[in-house]
Every structure is written in C-alpha cells, then in structure tokens.
Amino acid sequence: MNVLEVNNIKRRYKNGRGVSEISMELEEGGIYGLLGANGSGKTTIMKIISGLTKKDEGNVKIFGNDIDEDIATALSKVGVLIETPALYEYLSAEKNLEIAAKFYDSVTQDDIKDILLKVGLLKYQTGKKDLVRHYSLGMKQRLGIALALISKPGFVILDEPFNGLDIDGMVEMRNIIKHEAMENKTSFLISSHLSHELELICTKVGVIHEGRQISVASMDEVRKSYPSLEDYYISCAEKADRLAEEERKGGAL
Amino acid sequence: MKKLGNCIRAELIKLFERRKYKIIIMLPAVYCLIVGAYSIAIKTRFQIGVTNIPLSVLSVCNNVIMPLMALLLAADLFAGEQEGKTIKSLLTRPVSRSCIYFGKIVSIMIYLIISYGMTLFVALIMSAFSGNFTAFGLGTCFASYILSILPMFAVVIVTGFLSQIARSPSVTIILGVLASAAMGLIGTLLPQFYGMMLTSHTGFYKLFMGSTFSMYTIMTSLGMLLGYGLVFYVVGDVLFNRRDY
C-alpha cells in the first residue's frame, strides 16, 4: 500500500492562480521532492494533502484513508510543517511540544526531550522558561520540525524545511530526514526551491511549474540523464514554457 | 470524547500559560472586592449600603464584564490563531475541525465558569463582612451564579461566530461591541423586539426570583437562548470548517 496517493487534484483561487492535474504516489520510506519556483503551487499542494486547504477536484489518500471521509484518521500518522512553523511564541519549546503531544496516545515526556535533542534545540536552551518569542529564525524552524516529528509519524510533509537554517542546521536536518527514512521507513514529501538540497536526499522528484506537475522522475533517472537536478529542472521548465508558447500561437491562428 | 478532552486541555494550557489571562480571570472578583469594600465602608459610616453584594456584582458581570471577557477570549483563540496561523498546529493533528471548534468554545466557557466561581467566593466573603449573610441568601446566590452560566454559553457561542466572520482579533472585539450596542438600541427603540435580543436574556437568573417567577417566561427565555446557541454554533462551525488556512 502506498503511503500517499494523490489523484488529479485541482484548486483554483479567485485570482486565477492555483494548481491542477496534480497526481503523485509515495511508497514507504520514500522521499518525494517538490521542486519549483516561488508561487508555482508547491505549498498549495501540501496544504491540500494535509487538509488545510480545500480542493475543487480529485482525491487524496494517506495510508489508504481518504482525507474527505475522515481527516482525523488520515492525519493520525502524519507530521506537518507548512510555511512558517505554527508556534505559540508565548510558550516554551517544551510547552509547544506538550500541546502537540496531547493529540497522541503514545507520546511521553521522554519523547519530548528526545526530539528536542534530535533537532539540536537542547543546546540552545537556557532554561524551562525560555520562550519561543526569543528564538532565532533557525531555532523556530528546528522546533517546527520537532513538532512535525513528535508523534513518530509514518509520513511527514515539510514545506521548505531548510528555511532559516545555517549550514550546520541544514546538514543536521538532511541527516535527520535520511535517518528517519532509512531506519524508521518514514516517508517524506518535501518542497524546496533549493535543488541541491533535494538532490541530496530525495528518491523521487516532481517539478511544479505554474500550478502543474510537468515532470516526475526518480533521482536515479535524473542523475543518469542530467548533470544535476538543477539542469533537470531548467530543462523541464523551458520545455513547458515552449509548449505553452506553441499552444498560444496555435490558438491565435 | 477523548479527542475533545485533548482539545480542551490544549486550549486551557494556552490560556493559563499567558500572564494576561491569569490576570483577566480575576477581574470580576477584583470588581466584587471593590464594591464590597465600598459597601462596607459606607455602611459603617451612614448605615446604608449594597444589600446583596453577590447579586449586585453578578448583574454587572453578566451584562458587561463576562461578555467582554468572552469576546477577548474568542478573539484570541479563534481570530488571533487564524490571523497568526498558529491554528495550523491544531488543524494538522488527528482531530476534526468541528472538534477543535467545540473544544475552543468549551475551554472559553470553563475559563468563565472559574471566573464566576472566584467572584462568588469573594462576594460571599464580602457579604459575611458586611453582615448580610443568611442561609437563604447563600442558596439564592449559588443558584443565580449557576443559572448565569446558561446565557453566557450563548454569548460565548455568538462571540465564536463573530470571530469567524471578523478574521482578526481587533475586528472581532469591535463587531462584538457594535452587536451588543445594536441589540441594546433595538430593544429600547422597538420594545416589541426586546425579548428577541440576546442582551435581554443575560439576567436569566432573575426570572427564578420572587414574584416575577413565571414558567412561561422562563421557557421563552430558555428557548431564545437555545435558539441563539444552536443557530450561531452551527453557522460558526460551518464557517470554521469551510475556511482555507
């Protein structure tokens, strides 16, 4: 059974932007990268999958559970970090994690300490009353990732997880993702405009261009045909632009 | 049920970890303390004073202080979280949106009930000091405070609805104040509609007192409160469920 099945989802906003004809499948332990320019629709796709945004058409199944039928069950083994981390800034990192832990039966106080250690937040903390509002951007990002991983989910959605992280942080995050995927068979859906980062961790990559997924390939296929993921992306985007231009010209005639 | 309990616990942690709400919860009790102290002072000097401190304070609480507190809480827990996008941390957990919505309403209610309890406690102490303390009065006070919870539930539901259409904490508070003023004005200018205004039912407990007791009036008021509660709860829940985040 696939961890994630997305079939032909579509969402059009009032301003004409949105996404359409998006389909994807993700197997256990796989890391699916969504690569695209700013505003291409990556976040919208992730919001639809996690139930934050409604879709106009199509369906999404997570571990076989349709999000339209029972979102609570569908999200029971999912961790999410979309856009900026959703943090209560007037609370400490522990309290933020405690609130998240309330929604799961299996999360213990030790798990909270473990995850803080894993994402490298413990070394920055000066005390229990260390409020999130005093955190740097990178620390908030680490806590956002801790919140996504606190329930030991089988599937994690990370939108631009490397935002705000320094070089050490990016390496640590990459290692966490790889470790979770290899050791715990956790599947990831990761969006980024940093092709190099995706190239280092993904098993599969989808290129999102102007609201549509114009190409999907395994990383092995990409490496065989292109010098880098960046070249693959540019080639896909140029091809899509060329086709769109030809369609426009055909329509004008 | 367990999920609802988790939602309520999470909301209460958020409320009671904030200094602002640790202070606000005591405001009605502090008001009661001031009224009581003033009453004792003038009674000592002029032999007159407030005859029933708990009920005098309750009237102001029901009409002004508690609705304002409900508005502030709804503005923060609903509109504030939606505007600050922290609501995503709840919406991406294994719990339905309806459960989150209901959990927030219930946690606001729990907060207000605690505040009512603190106020009653202080009011009874002040009554004892002022010498207006009888067993009958004690029973009436308890019953009045408990009965006041029902209209406040309707008020909380309406504030939850307002926060869904306002989308920001400040607009929620402005809308709430305007709605309250409009209901008061309509009730005054068009007396035939007075009974239909939510603001006219905040003194629900008074219907059970003395010569004004009428089962018909009680049932009518109860029906209005239930009507307000059901309609605004359903619409608020639908709006909360339909929204994109």
CA–CA separation, A236 and A224 (whole Å): 15
Q: What is the value of pTM for the model shown? A: 0.90
Q: Is the pLDDT of residue A80 over 60?
A: yes
Tokens standing for residue B213:
């007791």
Q: Do A88 and B97 touch (CB under 8 A)?
A: no
Tell me the pairing of strands A204-209 and A187-192.
Answer: unpaired
Inter-residue contact B114 to B29 (CB < 8 Å)? no
Nearest CA in chain B to A129: B17
CA dihedral A144, A149, A150, A152 (to 10 degrees): 170
Residues 79-98 of chain B with CB under 8 A from chain A are: 85-89, 91-97
Q: In this predicted structure, what is the pLDDT of residue B129? A: 82
Task: Tally C-beta pairs within 8 A across A and B.
Answer: 73
Tokens standing for residue A199:
């190239």
Strands (E), chain A: 4-12, 18-26, 31-36, 57-62, 65-66, 78-81, 155-159, 187-192, 204-209, 212-218
Residue pLDDT, tens place only, A94-110: 999 999 999 998 889 99
Q: Using a CB–CB cutoff of 8 Å, tell me whether A145 touches chain B.
A: no
Of A52, A90, A147, the CB nearest to B245: A52
Alpha-carbon separation of residue B16 from A95, A102, B73, B116, B131 (angstroms): 12, 16, 12, 16, 35
Q: Is the pLDDT of residue A253 over 60?
A: no
Residues 193-222 of chain A with CB under 8 A from chain B are: none
The C-alpha of B107 sits at a distance from chain A's nearest C-alpha, in angstroms, of 14
Does the ipTM surpass 0.90? no
Residue pLDDT, tens place only, A188-246: 999 988 888 899 999 999 999 989 999 999 999 999 999 999 999 999 989 888 888 88
Q: In this predicted structure, what is the pLDDT of residue B49? A: 60
For chain A, what is the largest distance between any 2 Cα atoms, rounded to a whole number of angstroms? 70
Which chain A residues are Cβ-neighbours of B107 within 8 angstroms? Answer: none
Residue pLDDT, tens place only, A108-144: 999 999 999 988 887 766 665 689 999 988 889 999 9
Nearest CA in chain B to A145: B89
Q: Using a CB–CB cutoff of 8 Å, tell me whether A52 touches chain B.
A: yes
For residues B91 and B50, the model is more confident at: B91
Q: Using a CB–CB cutoff of 8 Å, tell me whether B128 touches chain A.
A: no
Nearest CA in chain A to B82: A86
Tell me the pairing of strands A18-26 and A31-36.
Answer: unpaired
Instruction: Give phi and psi for A209, each to the nearest 5.
Output: -140, 120
Beta bridge partners of A217: A205
Q: Using a CB–CB cutoff of 8 Å, tell me whether B22 touches chain A.
A: no
Q: Do B89 and A54 touch (CB under 8 A)?
A: no
Tokens standing for residue A65:
């559970």
Could you say which DSSP state residue A92 is in? B
Q: Do A52 and B6 touch (CB under 8 A)?
A: no
CA–CA separation, B181 and A224 (whole Å): 71
Q: Do B89 and A99 touch (CB under 8 A)?
A: yes
Q: Which of B55, B60, B53 is nearest to B125 (CA)?
A: B53
CA–CA separation, B209 and B126 (whole Å): 22
CA–CA separation, A229 and A36 (whole Å): 11
CA angle B123, B128, B129 (to 5 degrees): 100
Q: In this predicted structure, what is the pLDDT of residue B220? A: 92
Query: Which distant-in-sequence residues (6+ apart) come within 8 Å of B181 by Cβ?
Result: none
Which chain B residues are Cβ-neighbours of A97 within 8 angstroms? Answer: none
Q: In this predicted structure, what is the pLDDT of residue B104? A: 96
Of B17, B92, B96, the CB nearest to A52: B92
Q: In this predicted structure, what is the pLDDT of residue B212? A: 66
Q: Read off the pLDDT band of B211 (50, 70, 90).
A: low
